[in-house]
Structure 1
Amino acid sequence: MNKRDLLLGFLIGLATTLLGSYIFITFFTDFKFIAGIHILKSQGSLGKIITLGSIMTLIAFGLFLKLNKEMMARGVLLAVIVLAILTLFI
């Protein structure tokens, strides 16, 4: 049960980051989502977009702590750490 909750929290962390990046690209730039990713990657700004998108994970993290789902909150935190390491190489 614990590993399942950790994995579910990790997937939710990745999904909220993707959702936050989607919202940022579609509302604050003139690009469509996929085209925006390609253009921002060529400009070297993709790591910054992923970082801004991960702000949405704060909501998920706080919600899981409020609901006493500590393992899911750990999964969300693990997703943030993996994404932070990933942005170093992008």
Structure 2
Amino acid sequence: MIKKEILIGLLVGLFANAAGIYLYITLFSPDGLEETILKAKQEDFLGSIIALGAIANFLPFFVFLKKNQPYRSRGVLIATLIAAIVIAILKFN
């Protein structure tokens, strides 16, 4: 039961991060989604875009806390940590 709740939170966190990335690119980039991601990878600022997308994890994290669903909140936190690890890998490669 607990693992299922954490998995739900993890999936919501990953989706929120992806939605945050998509929202950021559509609002602030003159290029399309694929073009912007390729350009970001070439110019080494893909980690910054992922970090900006991770800001969207605040919403589900606090909603789950407010609804007294701490295991789902932990899943969102794990998704944020995964984003941080990916950012670190991108910065040091």
- Whether these two folds match at TM > 0.5 is yes
Matched length: 90
Cα RMSD between the aligned structures?
A: 0.6
Deviations 1:4-54 (CA, angstroms, capped at 9, x unpaired) = 010110011010000000010111011111111111111101000000001
SS at match of 1:68: coil
* Structure 1 stretches of at least 4 aligned residues deviating more than 2 Å after TM superposition: none
Q: Quick one: distance in 1 between partners of 2:16 and 2:31?
A: 20
Normalising to structure 1: TM-score of the pair? Answer: 0.97
Q: Quick one: distance in 1 between partners of 2:67 and 2:35?
A: 38
The aligned counterpart of 1:75 is: 75
* 1:41-80 pair list within 5 angstroms: 41-80=41-80
Q: Are 1:26 and 2:26 an aligned pair?
A: yes
Residue type at the aligned position of 1:34: E
Q: Quick one: distance in 2 between partners of 1:66 and 1:57?
A: 14
Q: CA deviation at 1:60?
A: 0.6
The aligned counterpart of 1:11 is: 11
Q: Quick one: distance in 2 between partners of 1:61 and 1:89?
A: 24
Q: Quick one: distance in 1 between partners of 2:34 and 2:68?
A: 36
